[in-house]
Amino acid sequence: MSDSAKKDSAEKAIALIRSQAKGRDAHSLAGSLMQGDRAALAQAITCIESGPDELAAEIVRLCLPASGRSVRMGITGVPGVGKSTFIDTFGMALLKSGKKVAVLAVDPSSPISKGSILGDKTRMDRLAADSRAFIRPSPSSDTLGGVARKTRETILLCEAAGYDTILVETVGVGQSETAVHAMTDFFVLLMLAGAGDQLQGIKRGIMEMCDAMIITKADGTNIAHATRAKAEYASALHLFPAREDGWFPPVLTTSALEQKGIDEVVELLSQYTTWMQERSLFNERRKKQNLSWLHESLRSAIIDRFYHNSEVMEKVKKVEVDVSSGLLSPFQAATEILQLYSQRVS
């Protein structure tokens, strides 16, 4: 399908869902989705993604008490590392173990029009076809902050709809890993064997952030490489300072194609969750995440208001001239602008 055809069909689908949602109020949508109605869940998520904002806010408010009872797992790794294939196989293993799985994505670089991750459900064939799983492509937005907020709220709705394992996929090439780390309980970095981390563009900070590392494609002639990479990464992880919570990230090898090592990841997820819960660290991490979400929301709301104040923007334009010609110091200019802003909002 061409890009424009893709965009057309995505827009048509959104328009349809919006028109279906239109006639419904927050109570009816939230009520249905909490009964496990997938169409209502899809409609509610569409409201979060593209409005109406008041309806979305009300739905989130109504669903909040029923949310939170899940394990949120973040999955990152460079393009081609095998994220989608892993999620398909791993998701099926989770379903087999009795879990209800929702798969979301954070991909600010490719809005729907460009074919976002998970837009190609081809590598998640089995999961996409299973009625026990729910898959939703990345919301489109200009900013990472926008995508992250929408995904965070979508997680809450999925939980309220009864999904107990939420998988959030993101491409490991920018700031989006940090955003996904900040919204998940268990953050996993997928790595290729034999490519070297520099080649894979994985920053040290991301390795330091992960709760587990998985070497993918450990099959065929790649098994020996994968085993070696596992030992190398395990010792590399030892070089990082010990974590405050006391958890040490293990390294596993998997083959999603041959379904090897997948049950071990299911087991690890459950062990990790128990380990964290026993030490009250699970809720501790979520509390911290909620607080940073609060401050992030405040920051972005304040910035938004400031930059949408026409009088302030006029003043900014004026002082830009003086600042660039050296007549006014940038600091002095900023102080003057902020003074005007505080007069206008008080």
Residue ranges in contact with ligand GTP by CB under 6 A:
77, 79-85, 117, 123, 171, 216-217, 219, 255-257
For the bound state, the minimum distance from the C-beta of residue 1 to ligand GTP, rounded and expressed in Å, comes to: 17
Q: What ranges in the chain are assigned the alpha helix state H? A: 3-22, 26-34, 38-50, 53-63, 83-96, 125-129, 144-160, 176-181, 204-209, 223-238, 262-278, 281-307, 310-324, 330-345
Q: For residues 334 and 339, give the distance between their C-alpha atoms in angstroms, rounded to a whole number.
A: 9
Nearer to ligand GTP, 21 or 166 (CB): 166
Give the residue with the Cβ less far from ligand GTP, 56 or 189: 189
Q: Residue 216 binds which entry of ligand GTP, Mg ion, none, with Cβ cut-offs from 5 to 8 Å by kind?
A: ligand GTP
Instruction: Tell the smallest beta-carbon distance from residue 214 to ligand GTP (Å).
Output: 10
Q: At CA 71, angle to CA 70 and CA 75, rounded to 5?
A: 140
Q: Which does 79 bind (CB under 5 to 8 A by kind): ligand GTP, Mg ion, none?
A: ligand GTP
For Mg ion, the closer CB: 84 or 254: 84
Decide whether 84 or 151 has the Cβ nearer to ligand GTP: 84
- Distance between CA 263 and CA 144 in Å, rounded? 33
Burial class (CB in 10 A: 0-12, 13-18, 19+), 150: buried
Nearer to ligand GTP, 67 or 110 (CB): 110
> Nearest distance from residue 297's CB to Mg ion, in Å?
29
CB of 84 to ligand GTP, least distance (A): 3
Answer whether 169's CB lies under 8 Å from 103's CB.
yes
- Given ligand GTP, Mg ion, none, residue 217, with its beta carbon under 5 to 8 Å by kind, binds ligand GTP
Least gap, CB of 164 to ligand GTP (angstroms):
23
The half-sphere exposure of 85 on its side-chain side, counting CA atoms within 13 A, is 15
Residue 108 preceded by cis peptide, ω within 30: no
Q: Closer to Mg ion at the Cβ: 32 or 84?
A: 84
- Chain residues in the site for Mg ion (CB under 5 A): 83-84, 117
Residue 257 binding partner per list Mg ion, ligand GTP, none, with a CB distance cut-off of 5 to 8 Å that depends on partner kind: ligand GTP
CB of 154 to ligand GTP, least distance (A): 19
Please, which residues have CB within 8 angstroms of residue 153's CB and are 6 or more apart in sequence?
48, 56, 60
